[in-house]
C-alpha cells in the first residue's frame, strides 16, 4: 500500500510507542543551550543532555519526528533525489536502556512488516570494526553476508559537532536498476540508486569538541530516518520531490511559473529550480514558525539566504512578482496535521516572508544588471574570475549573498575570488570600527549599518 507522508509519520511514532517509547513533539529548530549548533539538524540534537546523562529524560525510551535543517546540503538540493535543506527525521532513542539487539530488529520489523518494504531491496551497512552489529544482521536477521556492507569512519561513525557519538549501522534501499548501476558503484557513494534511509547510531562516546573521545556513562541508541526518504521507498517515487506532500507544492511552483512541465526531455535546468523553490519554501516556513527572523547573521542569515535563493530560482523559472507566500500557504496546508502551530502562526509567517521578498525584489533586478555588466567586462578582459570587491559590492549594495553570486557565476562558467570577498568585508568592518572610534559614537556616516557590519556573516 502507498502510505502518505502524514500516515507514515503516525505509523512510525505509534510503532515505537508499542515498544515502550514516549512520544514527544518535535523540538524547535532553534537549539536550546547548545552553542555548537546553529540550527537543529537531527533528532538527537535537542536531546544531547539526555544522552550524556547531564539531564534526566522524561522516560528512557523516546520517539519523535524532528524538524531538521541542514545548511550543508544546500548545494545538493535539487541535484540529488534525496536531499532537502528542510526535512523531517523520524527517530527512536534509548538513554541507557535498549541497545543494538533491540534497535536493529525493530528497525527491520518496521520497514519490512509495518510498511511492507521488500526485504530483498534493503541493504544494511555496519562500521568496519563493529562485529557485534554485523553478527546481529547476519545471525539474527539472516541477511546474507554479501549483502552486509562494512564502511569506515566517514560513513559509519556518526557525529555532528561536539557531544554524543558512536559507530552506526545504516539501512539502504535499492530503488532499482533504472536509477543507476550495480551495488559495486553506489553503495556509500553519491549515487541515488541505493538510497540511505535509516541510520541507527550506537552512541556510546562523547566528543569534547576537540576530538577527544571518552566513554559515556551509559550506552544509548539514537536513530534517524528521513520521513521523505521513507516515503520515496514506500511510494516508489522518483525523488523526495515526488512524494505526496511535496508533489503538491512542486506542482504549484510549476503552475505559478506559467504551467511549465517537469522532468520532461529538455527541462533538466528548470527542474533543478523547481526543486529548489519547493524545498526552500518548506525550509523558510518552518524556520519562521519557530521564530527565526531574516537578518545579517547566524540563523537569520541562513534564512535570508534561503529566501533570496528561492526568489532567484523563481525568477529563473519566469515567475514575476511575489510568489513565496503562495508556496508557504501550501506548506501550511500540507503540514498542519503534524504541526498545528503552522496554522496558528500563519499570518505571522506570511508577513515575514512577504517583507523579506519585497526587500530583495527592490534590488534584485538592479543587482542582476550590474552582475551582467561585471561579466561583460570579465569577458572583454579574458578573465574567468570575479574580483572580491565586485562580489562584495553586490552583497553590500544589492543584498546578494555570496553563495547566490557564486551560483549564478558558476552557471555561466565564472568563479569568484572568495578570499578577496572576505578581505573586502573585513576592510569594511575595520573602517566602520575606526570611524566609530574617531567619532566616539556607535554609528557614523554609514548610519545604522555600521553596527550591522560587525555581525555580518556571508
Please give the torsion angle defined by the CA atoms of residues 134, 137, 142 and 143, in that order, rounded to the nearest 10 degrees.
Answer: -80
Options 42, 125, 199, 335; binder of Mg ion; rule CB under 5 A: 199
Rounded CA gap, 412 and 415, in Å? 9
CB of 420 to ligand ATP, least distance (A): 31
Rounded CA gap, 224 and 169, in Å? 11
Rounded CA gap, 395 and 293, in Å? 19
Closer by beta carbon to ligand ATP, 287 or else 319? 287
In the list Mg ion, ligand ATP, none, the entry touching 82 (Cβ below 5 to 8 angstroms by class) is ligand ATP
Q: Interface mask (CB under 6 A) for ligand ATP, residues 22-61, using x and -?
A: ----------------------------------------
Rounded CA gap, 124 and 75, in Å? 27
In the list ligand ATP, Mg ion, none, the entry touching 228 (Cβ below 5 to 8 angstroms by class) is ligand ATP
**R_g over Cα of the chain:** 24
Residue with cell 538592479: 366
Rounded CA gap, 165 and 174, in Å? 27
Q: Which of residues 72-101 bind ligand ATP (CB under 6 A)?
A: 73, 82-84, 87, 89
Cβ atoms of 47 and 57 within 8 Å: the answer is: yes
User: Does residue 330 touch Mg ion according to CB under 5 A?
Assistant: no
Q: Count residues contacting Mg ion (CB under 5 A)?
A: 2
CB-nearest residue to ligand ATP: 226
Closer by beta carbon to ligand ATP, 80 or else 296? 80
User: Does residue 283 touch ligand ATP according to CB under 6 A?
Assistant: no
CB of 87 to ligand ATP, least distance (A): 4
CB of 199 to ligand ATP, least distance (A): 3
Q: Interface mask (CB under 6 A) for ligand ATP, residues 228-267, using x and -?
A: xx--------------------------------------
Closer by beta carbon to Mg ion, 36 or else 397? 36
Closer by beta carbon to ligand ATP, 224 or else 388? 224
Stretch that binds Mg ion, among 159-167, 198-206, 293-301, 339-347 (CB under 5 A): 198-206
Stretch that binds Mg ion, among 176-184, 188-196, 331-339, 382-390 (CB under 5 A): 188-196
Closer by beta carbon to ligand ATP, 87 or else 392? 87
Closer by beta carbon to ligand ATP, 313 or else 345? 313
Q: Count residues contacting ligand ATP (CB under 6 A)?
A: 16
Q: Which of residues 158-217 bind ligand ATP (CB under 6 A)?
A: 196-199
In the list ligand ATP, Mg ion, none, the entry touching 84 (Cβ below 5 to 8 angstroms by class) is ligand ATP
Copy the grid coordinates of residue 352.
515575514
In the list ligand ATP, Mg ion, none, the entry touching 224 (Cβ below 5 to 8 angstroms by class) is ligand ATP
Closer by beta carbon to ligand ATP, 8 or else 89? 89
Interacting residue ranges for ligand ATP, rule: CB under 6 A: 70, 73, 82-84, 87, 89, 196-199, 224-226, 228-229
Amino acid at each position: 500500500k502507498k502510505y502518505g507522508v502524514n500516515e507514515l509519520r503516525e505509523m512510525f511514532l505509534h510503532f515505537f510507542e508499542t515498544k515502550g517509547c514516549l512520544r514527544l513533539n518535535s523540538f524547535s529548530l532553534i537549539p536550546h543551550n547548545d552553542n555548537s549548533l546553529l540550527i537543529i539538524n537531527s533528532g538527537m540534537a535537542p536531546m544531547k543532555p539526555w544522552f550524556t546523562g547531564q539531564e534526566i529524560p522524561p522516560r528512557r525510551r523516546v520517539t519523535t519526528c524532528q524538524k531538521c535543517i541542514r545548511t550543508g546540503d544546500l548545494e545538493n538540493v535539487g541535484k540529488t533525489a534525496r536531499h532537502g535543506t528542510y526535512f523531517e527525521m523520524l527517530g527512536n532513542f534509548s538513554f541507557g536502556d535498549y541497545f543494538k539487539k533491540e534497535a536493529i530488529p525493530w528497525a527491520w520489523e518496521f520497514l519490512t512488516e509495518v510498511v511492507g518494504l521488500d526485504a530483498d531491496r534493503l541493504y544494511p551497512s555496519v562500521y568496519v570494526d563493529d562485529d557485534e552489529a554485523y553478527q546481529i544482521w547476519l545471525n539474527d536477521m539472516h541477511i546474507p553476508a554479501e549483502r552486509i556492507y562494512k564502511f569506515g569512519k566517514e560513513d559509519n561513525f556518526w557525529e555532528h559537532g561536539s557531544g554524543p557519538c558512536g559507530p552506526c549501522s545504516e539501512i539502504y534501499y535499492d530503488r532499482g536498476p533504472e536509477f543507476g548501476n550495480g551495488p559495486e558503484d553506489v553503495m556509500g557513494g553519491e549515487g541515488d540508486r541505493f538510497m540511505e534511509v535509516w541510520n541507527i547510531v550506537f552512541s556510546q562516546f562523547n566528543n569534547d569538541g576537540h576530538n577527544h573521545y571518552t566513554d559515556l556513562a551509559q550506552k544509548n541508541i539514537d536513530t534517524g530516518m528521513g520521513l521523505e526518504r521513507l516515503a520515496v521507498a514506500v511510494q516508489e517515487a522518483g525523488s523526495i520531490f515526488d512524494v505526496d506532500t511535496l508533489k503538491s507544492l512542486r506542482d504549484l511552483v510549476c503552475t505559478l511559473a506559467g504551467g511549465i512541465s517537469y522532468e520532461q526531455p529538455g527541462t533538466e535546468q528548470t527542474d533543478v529550480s523547481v526543486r529548489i523553490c519547493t524545498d526552500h519554501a518548506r525550509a523558510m516556513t518552518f524556520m519562521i514558525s519557530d521564530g527565526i527572523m531574516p537578518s545579517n547573521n547566524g540563523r537569520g542569515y541562513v534564512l535570508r539566504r534561503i529566501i533570496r535563493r528561492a526568489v532567484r530560482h523563481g525568477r529563473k523559472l519566469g515567475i514575476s512578482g511575489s510568489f513565496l507566500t503562495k508556496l508557504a500557504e501550501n506548506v501550511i496546508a500540507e503540514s498542519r496535521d503534524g504541526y498545528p502551530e503552522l496554522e496558528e502562526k500563519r499570518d505571522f509567517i506570511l508577513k515575514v516572508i512577504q517583507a523579506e521578498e519585497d526587500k530583495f525584489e527592490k534590488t534584485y533586478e538592479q543587482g542582476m544588471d550590474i552582475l551582467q555588466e561585471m561579466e561583460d567586462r570579465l569577458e572583454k578582459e579574458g578573465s574567468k574570475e570575479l574580483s572580491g570587491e565586485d562580489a562584495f559590492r553586490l552583497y553590500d549594495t544589492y543584498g546578494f549573498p555570496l553563495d547566490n553570486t557564486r551560483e549564478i557565476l558558476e552557471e555561466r562558467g565564472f568563479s569568484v575570488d572568495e578570499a578577496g570577498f572576505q578581505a573586502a568585508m573585513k576592510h569594511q568592518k575595520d573602517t566602520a570600527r575606526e570611524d566609530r572610534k574617531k567619532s566616539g559614537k556607535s554609528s557614523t556616516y554609514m548610519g545604522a549599518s555600521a553596527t550591522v557590519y560587525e555581525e555580518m556573516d556571508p
